[in-house]
Amino acid sequence: MENYIIEMNNIRKEFPGIVANDDITLKLRKGEIHALLGENGAGKSTLMSVLFGLYVPEKGEIRKNGEVVKISNPNDANDLGIGMVHQHFKLVEVFTVLENIILGAEPTKYGFLTTKETRQKVLELSEKFNLKVDIDAKIEDISVGMQQRVEILKMLYRENEILIFDEPTAVLTPQEIDELIKIMKNLIIEGKSILFISHKLNEIMAVCDRVTVLRKGKYIGTVDVSKTNIDELSKMMVGRKIDSIKKTPAKKSDEIVLDVRNLTVSSKLHKNNAVNNVSFQVNAGEILCIAGIEGNGQSELIYGITGLEKITSGQIVLNGKDVTKASIRERNLNGMSHIPEDRHKFGLVLDFNLAQNLALKKYFQEGYHNHGFINFDKIHEHSEALIKQYDIRSGKGSDTIARSMSGGNQQKAIIAREIDCESKLLVAVQPTRGLDVGAIENIHKMIIQERDAHKAVLLISLELEEVLDLSDRILVMFNGQIVAELNPKKTTPQEIGLYMVGAKVQEKFTGSRGGQ
Amino acid sequence: MMALFKKNSTAELKTIKELSDKKVTIISSVSSIFVGLLFGLVILFIIEIIKEYSDFTNPFYGFVNLMTSGISSIGNILKLLYKAAPLMMTGLAIGFAFKAGLFNIGATGQYTVGAFFALIAAILWQFPWWAALIVAMITGALWGFIPGLFKAIFNINEVITTIMLNWTALFFVNLLFYNNPGIYLTPERTTALASANPSAILPDLGLKVALNSSYVNIGIFIAILFAILIYIIMEKTTFGFEIKACGHNKNASVYAGIKAKRTIIYTMLISGALAGVGGGIQFLSGTVQYTVSNTTLMPMGFNGIPVALLAFSNPIGIIFSSLFISFLQVGGENMQPIYSSEMVNVILAVIIYFSAFSLILSQFIRKRLNMRSIDLEIAANRLETPLEENIPPKEEPVEPVIEKSSKKEVEK
């Protein structure tokens, strides 16, 4: 008999109308890294919520070390030594690292906080597991990677032995991911067991021992990572073979759609300019991708181009017309579509229904209103057409409140709206962030279709894979400036990485530096 | 008995789940009013307990008076309508701003300015009633425009500017009255309109004589017309669409090309205009005179806040909530032989306060209810296709390796 530290046997969890977990079995061996693989909506979160005591399953049992246990709330889970690092960290921003670690289990003496021994304990833990943290720094001042280490320390401080990592790499840079993998391997050596939730296959291949795959609420199988490969896993996860993107060669023309000249945008975070003297052009029929590590001015660059933020100096020419001072609507009407970085903050009015959201850039146009009175039939018709064309799925069709839609479909709605504007330029900022494989594939296809329809696409992406897959030309941005122009066919991730961290600058861009 | 109760409660639970959004709104408003009334009654009892000679029939008597006298006679009904008209306008003013995500706590200031200029137009300039109302509307709008401008350009919180402008309005108006000796009779009150300019009194369509009440005028119809107008603007026009978009998510509105700053200014302009008309309706009724030595802010503008809250800022709902608040006010006046007018105000305040307070509570419950249903909806949406369709078809190969290993697992 094998020694399982946690067994979840035949778990079934229903919500009215759907079965989120249908007869799922997950067995975690002691001292292994076990991946839970599945697309968004496959039932991973539900299963983990069952393990964490947030949901009570209709059927099935949970065993720890072979004994049946009942977990009816998160405290039970904690008592059993189950801890979780959530995808969105649950830390108090204005507290220090130490305060966050002891939060909820504060050591007190006569009602007063005593942190001396705890500090020692946390320092020891951090040393033992090689988790570098600045124990007295406030959470808001430390990097995302360090915040994650704080979450891990929190679990260790509570002496949890089963650690759940919920999509831990989604927020990290490549370097931080390597660091995290080291940490996880270290934890295993120290006798912990890890459940690793992810849909990134190469990470699973790199770090895990075994992997359990879920699809649409069903258990597909458990395999040894050493006996499988990425293709096989992706087939298990999606249920079909994923086509690698078939990209026809770009039919780049000489027609310049967007011409950015010496653009400078000031930063809201620091005194220096976020974007410093950046110039580039996007031609019709090409996908120009701007790569770079988050926070190197990409967002501000887009804000400047799309008009969300005022620029300090420079010129923006769109379709031969100077739009430097134009309003956002003028830019839109002059042929600029924009898939924003943050779909909840900018892309959608979450409390509006789908039809209203799809009409956000149309409602003022001819046919959509009659002397200022909205033509609801037209808006509905427009919405139904887009829903059909772009396969936007939702509970109540046009009447669905945007907030209740899944992330993938929210993004589809935004893309449908933007492409429907038939603009000459499509600005897409991280269009696939947080989406599952199927949705990403879909969106990539749409973007390539746009390019093939002789549109110009300006793509901002943090994912190198996406950059290399989609782009016809790559610009790398570092510290507010363009440092390299690369051909995706002739470059490697490693080379891009060097430019991204500022270790290298192409000669033709060195001239513009020094303005800082 | 218990079984019966249980049965009922599960049935109730079921109906709550099936309720539409609109019904939840109405139910939560009505139930919050009920909680407020209950607290009013409790206060009446507490007053009775701490009295020297307690008479526990008094609270019931007072409460029955409060709840019935608003509709006990035609005279009282007319008074109710008369009081509701300006209240409806301030409620609309505040509700309209709420929809755009703005808290116009300055309705009272805009109301005061509107009232002042309505009287100036009526008495000094000898305007007819409709022209005086338009003057009130324009001046109220200008008073609302100032905080709108500050909010849009300098991003100064409208709550602060409107509170300051409330006091500015009050003393500015008093000052101007003092400097116009022609328009007030005694040092306290403005000249009665009946003698100064009868054409400026809102028409009564001959009903004053027919119904034998001095409280009849077309103010209530004007207010209802405005409510309908605001409803149409809000729900049917592109402008209303922009206002709601800004109110829900300013960033997304800006992104979509809506000029959010302009929308804020227009919203405050309209909000101020509504409050200004309210002031006009009140002071052109011919039954009130402006007390020039007034040093407290007029409560009408503040009473508009619970009116708007109770109605969830829905213009049609505001018609009913303002009628309800006036109903309480008329009822409160009829409690007066037993309870002093101050005490009546306390009772009214408690009812209004708890109405708004428990409204927040019910909103919270509603949110919970919604969140649950949204959760379910999200879950349903994520599982985009029914499960039956997803059972792997035969041609789909599940790797033999996998089957083996998973079978092994089960056996163990």
What pLDDT does residue A460 have?
A: 92
Please state, in angstroms and rounded to a whole number, the distance separating the CA atoms of residues A217 and A464. Answer: 30
Helix (H, G, I), strand (E, B) or coil at B230: helix
Sketch out chain A's domains with CATH numbers: 4-238 (3.40.50.300), 256-510 (3.40.50.300)
Count Cα atoms within 13 angstroms, Cβ side, for A270: 10
Contacts of A401 in chain B (CB under 8 A): 374
Tell me the average pLDDT of chain B: 79
Interface contact B255-A350, CB threshold 8 A: no
Interface contact B383-A404, CB threshold 8 A: no
Residue A109: its H or E element:
strand A108-109
Q: Whole-prediction pTM value? A: 0.74
Q: How many angstroms away from the CA of B122 is the closest CA of chain A? A: 35
Closest partner residue to A222 among B244, B376, B406, by Cβ? B406
What pLDDT does residue B356 have?
A: 63
* Residue in A55, A360, A361, A396 to test binding to B, most B beta-carbons within 10 Å: A360
Burial of B321 (0-12, 13-18, 19+ CB in 10 A): buried
- Note the pLDDT tens digit of each residue in A448-470: 989 999 999 999 988 788 888 88
What pLDDT does residue B289 have?
A: 79
Tokens of A454: 């002789």
A212 within 8 A of A34, measured Cβ to Cβ: yes
Closest partner residue to B237 among A240, A351, A372, by Cβ? A372
Mark B286-316 as b/e (b = at least 16 C-beta within 10 Å).
bbebbebeeeebbebbbbbbbbbbbbbbbbe
Please state, in angstroms and rounded to a whole number, the distance separating the CA atoms of residues B166 and B238. Answer: 31
B244 shares contact with chain A (CB less than 8 Å): yes
Please state, in angstroms and rounded to a whole number, the distance separating the CA atoms of residues A119 and A128. Answer: 14
The separation between the first and the last C-alpha atoms of chain A, rounded to the nearest angstrom, is 66
From A41, which residue of chain B is nearest by alpha-carbon distance? B382
Residues contacting A414, CB < 8 A, separation 6+: A339, A340, A343, A347, A348
What pLDDT does residue B299 have?
A: 85
What pLDDT does residue B262 have?
A: 93
Interface contact A374-B412, CB threshold 8 A: no
Please state, in angstroms and rounded to a whole number, the distance separating the CA atoms of residues A187 and A193. Answer: 8
Tokens of B144: 């609302």
Q: How many angstroms away from the CA of A364 is the closest CA of chain B? A: 7
From A439, which residue of chain B is nearest by alpha-carbon distance? B382
Contacts of A234 in chain B (CB under 8 A): none
Residue A316: its H or E element:
strand A313-318
Please state, in angstroms and rounded to a whole number, the distance separating the CA atoms of residues A258 and A264. Answer: 16
* Residue in A28, A234, A406, A409 to test binding to B, most B beta-carbons within 10 Å: A406
Please state, in angstroms and rounded to a whole number, the distance separating the CA atoms of residues B311 and B319. Answer: 8
What pLDDT does residue B11 have?
A: 44
What pLDDT does residue B376 have?
A: 53
What pLDDT does residue A281 have?
A: 93
Please state, in angstroms and rounded to a whole number, the distance separating the CA atoms of residues A417 and A427. Answer: 13
Please state, in angstroms and rounded to a whole number, the distance separating the CA atoms of residues A40 and A222. Answer: 18
Interface contact B381-A327, CB threshold 8 A: no
Residues of chain A with confidence (pLDDT) below 50:
513-516
Mark A336-365 as b/e (b = at least 16 C-beta within 10 Å).
bbbbbbebbebbbbbebbbbbbbbbbbbbe
* Residue in B237, B266, B377 to test binding to A, most A beta-carbons within 10 Å: B377
Give the start-to-end residue ranges of the domains of chain B. Answer: 26-51+350-376, 73-333
Q: How many angstroms away from the CA of A45 is the closest CA of chain B? A: 11
- Note the pLDDT tens digit of each residue in A166-225: 888 766 766 778 888 888 888 898 889 999 988 778 888 888 999 999 888 889 999 998
What pLDDT does residue A16 have?
A: 66
Q: How many angstroms away from the CA of A513 is the closest CA of chain B? A: 31
Contacts of B379 in chain A (CB under 8 A): 15, 18, 20, 46
Residue A473, sorted as left (phi over 0), alpha (psi -120 to 50) or beta, turns out to be: beta
Interface contact A332-B244, CB threshold 8 A: no
What pLDDT does residue B4 have?
A: 44
CA separation (Å) from B204 to A415, B123, B139? 58, 19, 25
Tokens of A215: 């699809």
Closest partner residue to A221 among B257, B259, B403, by Cβ? B403
Q: How many angstroms away from the CA of A404 is the closest CA of chain B? A: 5
What pLDDT does residue A111 have?
A: 78
The length of chain A is 516
Residues contacting B88, CB < 8 A, separation 6+: B220, B223, B224, B226, B227, B278, B307, B318, B319, B322, B323
* Residue in B382, B384, B394, B406 to test binding to A, most A beta-carbons within 10 Å: B382
- Note the pLDDT tens digit of each residue in B243-292: 999 999 999 999 999 999 999 999 999 999 999 999 999 999 888 878 77
Interface contact B255-A15, CB threshold 8 A: no
What pLDDT does residue B241 have?
A: 94
Interface contact A20-B379, CB threshold 8 A: yes
Burial of B353 (0-12, 13-18, 19+ CB in 10 A): middle
Count Cα atoms within 13 angstroms, Cβ side, for B196: 25
What pLDDT does residue B125 have?
A: 87
What pLDDT does residue A467 have?
A: 87
For chain B, 412 residues long, the average pLDDT of each consecutive 10-residue run is 43 45 68 78 82 76 81 87 94 94 93 93 89 96 95 91 93 84 66 80 82 85 96 93 93 92 94 96 86 81 87 91 88 78 74 65 61 52 40 39 41 39
* Phi, psi (deg, nearest 5) at residue A481: -130, 155
Q: ∠A215-A216-A217 over CA atoms, to 5°?
A: 90
What pLDDT does residue B392 have?
A: 39
Mark B182-214 as b/e (b = at least 16 C-beta within 10 Å).
ebbeeeeebbbbeebbeebbbebeeebeeeebe
What pLDDT does residue B85 have?
A: 94
Identify the DSSP state of B365. H
B256 shares contact with chain A (CB less than 8 Å): yes
Interface contact B252-A347, CB threshold 8 A: yes
Interface contact A308-B255, CB threshold 8 A: yes
CATH of B73-333, one of 3.40.50, 2.60.40, 1.10.3470, 3.90.550: 1.10.3470
B257 shares contact with chain A (CB less than 8 Å): yes
Residues contacting A76, CB < 8 A, separation 6+: A53, A69, A70
Identify the DSSP state of A346. I
